[in-house]
């Protein structure tokens, strides 16, 4: 794993794991209570069933150990490792009822986060050799933003603003609302945002045409978001801006076109599908009695 990957705060992990266990009825697992002896001891192996980038081992460990302090979790790989089908990821051992009750929550986190990391890695590799960075968006699963954002970092991507409170991003609906209240042009909207936002905040604004891009540059925008813009227009905007503002592309970005977008001269490419459409990696947990 990259050494600079910022971890998830342990308190965030603990809260999410306990909420997931509660949601799953872990404290009244009627099946396990009915068929498993309370004193039984078990051992299990997390096994990758397809190639992928692993993320979320610490979260899986927290889930597996939440119900009993006698459970041990020993990882055989690290977050960020690319594994093949059949790779053993971790071993767990402890009271069999605790292992059986917590396995689904642990797998849900591990599979989901590994899927996000795997898709992110593919996008990052597709822009290798360029100066563009791959960003995520706020299009995350409610309640799982910390985890999906961490998985993006593990995959080699970078995080956009975490929440609405983190940065100024003037989007199309903000612009329409400002026009309804008398704003004359994008420059006036940018000036209004700069006057009202914290003095340390950079101002980003969304545009959809070359003309709007030029207007945003003239208005002093720090970052310009080129939204769903054809590649030819992205290139034209990059040439016209020539360092006058940071350029970010969003909308319609795929693995097939992201390399060309990166080579067009933009600094950032935000990809919503990293978190809203990443398929989970197939991982199993085989548990047996000791």
Distances (CA, A) of 216 to 187, 213, 262: 6, 5, 21
**What is the distance between the alpha carbons of residues 15 and 119, in angstroms, rounded to a whole number?**
26
Distances (CA, A) of 238 to 66, 185, 210, 225: 51, 21, 10, 12
Indicate which residue of 14, 69, 70, 171 is catalytic. Answer: 171
**What is the distance between the alpha carbons of residues 290 and 280, in angstroms, rounded to a whole number?**
30
Indicate which residue of 81, 204, 227, 248 is catalytic. Answer: 227
Indicate which residue of 148, 204, 206, 212 is catalytic. Answer: 206
Indicate which residue of 133, 139, 202, 273 is catalytic. Answer: 139
For the question of residue 227 being annotated catalytic, the response is yes
For the question of residue 29 being annotated catalytic, the response is no
Indicate which residue of 24, 88, 91, 104 is catalytic. Answer: 104
**Where are the strands (E) in 56-179, listed by range?**
72-75, 82-83, 88-95, 133-135, 168-170
Q: How many CB atoms lie within 10 A of CB 214?
A: 17
For the question of residue 206 being annotated catalytic, the response is yes
Residue 28 DSSP one-character state: G
For the question of residue 171 being annotated catalytic, the response is yes
For the question of residue 153 being annotated catalytic, the response is no
Pairing type for strands 72-75 and 88-95 reads antiparallel
Contact 155, 119 (CB under 8 A): yes
Distances (CA, A) of 212 to 15, 229, 248, 271: 44, 12, 14, 22
Q: Which own/partner pairs from 26-31 qualify as long-range (CB within 8 Å, at least 24 positions apart)?
A: 26/67, 26/101, 26/102, 26/105, 29/97, 29/100, 29/101
Which residue in 177, 175, 61 sits closest to 110, CA to CA? 61
Residues identified as active-site: 104, 139, 171, 206, 227
């Amino acid at each position: 794993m990259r050494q600079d990957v910022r971890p998830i705060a342990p308190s965030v992990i603990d809260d999410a794991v306990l909420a997931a266990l509660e949601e799953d009825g872990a404290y009244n697992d009627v099946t396990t209570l009915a068929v498993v002896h309370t004193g039984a001891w078990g051992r299990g192996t997390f096994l990758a069933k397809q190639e992928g980038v692993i993320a979320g081992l610490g979260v899986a460990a927290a889930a597996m150990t939440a119900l009993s302090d006698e459970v041990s979790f020993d990882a055989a790989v690290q977050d960020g490792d690319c594994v093949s089908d059949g790779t053993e990821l971790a071993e767990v051992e402890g009271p069999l009822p605790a292992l059986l009750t917590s396995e689904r929550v642990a797998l849900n986190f591990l599979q989901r986060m590994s899927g996000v990391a795997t898709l992110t890695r593919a996008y990052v590799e597709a822009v290798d050799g360029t100066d563009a960075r791959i960003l995520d968006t706020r299009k995350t699963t409610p309640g799982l933003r910390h985890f999906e954002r961490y998985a993006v970092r593990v995959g080699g991507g970078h995080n956009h603003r975490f929440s609405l409170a983190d940065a100024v991003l003037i989007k199309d609906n903000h612009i329409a609302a400002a026009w309804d209240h008398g704003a004359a042009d994008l420059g006036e909207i940018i000036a209004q945002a700069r006057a009202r936002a914290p003095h340390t905040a950079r101002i980003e604004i969304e545009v959809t045409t070359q003309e709007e891009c030029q207007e945003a540059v003239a208005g002093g925008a720090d970052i310009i978001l080129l939204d769903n813009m054809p590649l030819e227009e992205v290139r034209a905007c990059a040439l016209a801006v020539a360092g006058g503002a940071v350029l970010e592309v969003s909308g319609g970005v795929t693995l097939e076109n992201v390399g060309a977008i990166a080579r067009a001269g933009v600094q950032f490419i935000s990809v919503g599908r990293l978190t809203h459409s990443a398929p989970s990696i197939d991982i199993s947990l085989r548990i047996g009695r000791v």
